[in-house]
């Protein structure tokens, strides 16, 4: 079993992230904001699996953050080989020619795409192969999305794919910032937001106590109620094998309904319960179970929730 670690500084982290989004300081970088938001559980809750992957890729180490050019080359050149094979490019037999191609592309990436991560680049070509970037790609003479490299594995080809991915990425960022734009930023508004969820927790508890079943909660509401109970020291969710099995079953349904695309489905099937999407679903089930077990304990011990939460 794996214990879920929830930061006890979550309210402070949420406030800091909100300040970065809504009252940015001079010189603040976009990557700093995304990394702060990535620490909040509600950031990814409203995103699809693909959107989560895109956002998560964007907070890794950026190309421009590599101080050592040799270190960057050591990481990115195997990626070039992987992409070349994936898109059907015939790697030159002459090593000097292949090294030159890689060096030129790397130079362009460092100069014009320094804010991209290696995960971004890998994902950009995967999504291109699946047709997920077609709407953002230029059209060929037949009016279809131009994904081709035409045996020209060069800066122009990379730029075409990465610009399309950048537009897709921008849509995800916009959705994230829209979803998190209501995070409280001032001390007073933070208290108002906290009070709102405390009232919901009290209502959910009495609903469960007197009606015998759990109030229907949205994913963000469940996360917030769990966090309140956790910060009170009442619960710590622990992943069980059953949570992982239930999550895997839910993911299989999404695959069957084509909500999860074939390429991603293949990865999930290969990794099984070790895949992040399955683990994320299992966390949801474990937190829900922890809340129920906490409510059952409070009812049995006749604990009054209002002794701990003033509303």
Residue with tokens 């800091």: 16
**pLDDT tens for residues 98-153?**
999 999 999 999 999 999 999 999 999 999 888 888 888 888 888 888 888 888 88
Residue with tokens 């309210």: 11
Number of other residues whose CB lies within 10 A of the CB of residue 124: 26
Distance, in Å, from the CA atom of 156 to the CA atom of 186, rounded to the nearest integer, reads 47
Distance, in Å, from the CA atom of 188 to the CA atom of 179, rounded to the nearest integer, reads 21
Cα distances (Å, whole numbers) of residue 269 to 69, 124, 127: 36, 21, 18
Per-residue pLDDT of the chain (311 residues; tens, 9 = 90+): 333 333 446 667 777 777 676 677 788 888 888 888 888 777 777 788 889 899 999 999 999 999 888 899 999 999 999 898 888 888 888 999 999 999 999 999 999 999 999 999 999 999 988 888 888 888 888 888 888 888 888 888 899 999 999 988 988 888 887 776 655 444 445 566 677 888 889 999 999 999 988 988 887 788 888 988 988 889 888 889 999 999 899 888 888 887 777 777 788 888 888 888 888 888 889 999 999 999 999 999 898 888 888 76
- 62 beta partners: 117
Q: Judge whether 228 and 197 are in contact, CB under 8 Å.
A: yes
**pLDDT tens for residues 242-275?**
999 998 998 888 888 877 777 777 888 888 888 8
Pair of tokens at residue 170: 């921008």
Query: Which is nearest to 124 in space by CA: 156, 80, 176, 163?
Result: 163
Residue with tokens 């991603």: 264
């Amino acid at each position: 079993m794996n214990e879920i670690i929830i930061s006890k500084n979550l309210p402070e982290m949420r406030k800091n992230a909100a300040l970065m989004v809504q009252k940015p300081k001079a010189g603040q970088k976009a990557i700093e904001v995304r990394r702060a938001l990535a620490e909040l559980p509600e950031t990814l809750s409203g995103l699809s699996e693909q959107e989560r992957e895109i956002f998560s890729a964007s907070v890794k180490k950026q190309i421009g953050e590599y101080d050592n050019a040799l270190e960057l080359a050591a990481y990115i050149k195997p990626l070039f080989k992987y992409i070349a094979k994936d898109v059907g490019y015939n790697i030159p037999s002459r090593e000097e020619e292949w090294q030159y191609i890689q060096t030129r592309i790397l130079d362009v990436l460092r100069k014009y795409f320094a804010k991209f991560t290696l995960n971004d680049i890998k994902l950009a070509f995967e999504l291109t192969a699946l047709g997920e970037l077609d709407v953002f790609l230029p059209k060929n003479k037949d009016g279809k999305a131009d994904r081709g490299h035409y045996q020209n594995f060069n800066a122009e080809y990379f730029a075409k794919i990465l610009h399309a991915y950048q537009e897709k990425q921008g849509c995800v960022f916009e959705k994230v910032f829209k979803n998190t734009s209501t995070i409280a930023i001032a001390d007073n508004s933070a208290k108002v937001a906290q009070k709102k969820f405390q009232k919901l927790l009290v209502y959910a508890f009495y609903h469960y106590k007197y009606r015998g079943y759990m109030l229907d909660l949205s994913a963000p509401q469940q996360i917030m109620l769990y966090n309140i109970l956790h910060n009170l020291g009442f619960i710590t969710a622990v992943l069980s094998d059953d949570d992982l099995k239930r999550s895997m079953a839910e993911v299989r349904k999404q695959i069957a309904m084509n909500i999860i695309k074939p390429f991603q489905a293949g990865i999930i099937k290969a990794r099984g319960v070790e895949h992040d999407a399955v683990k994320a679903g299992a966390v949801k089930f474990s937190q829900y179970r922890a809340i129920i077990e906490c409510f059952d304990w409070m009812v049995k011990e006749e604990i009054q929730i209002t002794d701990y939460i003033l509303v």
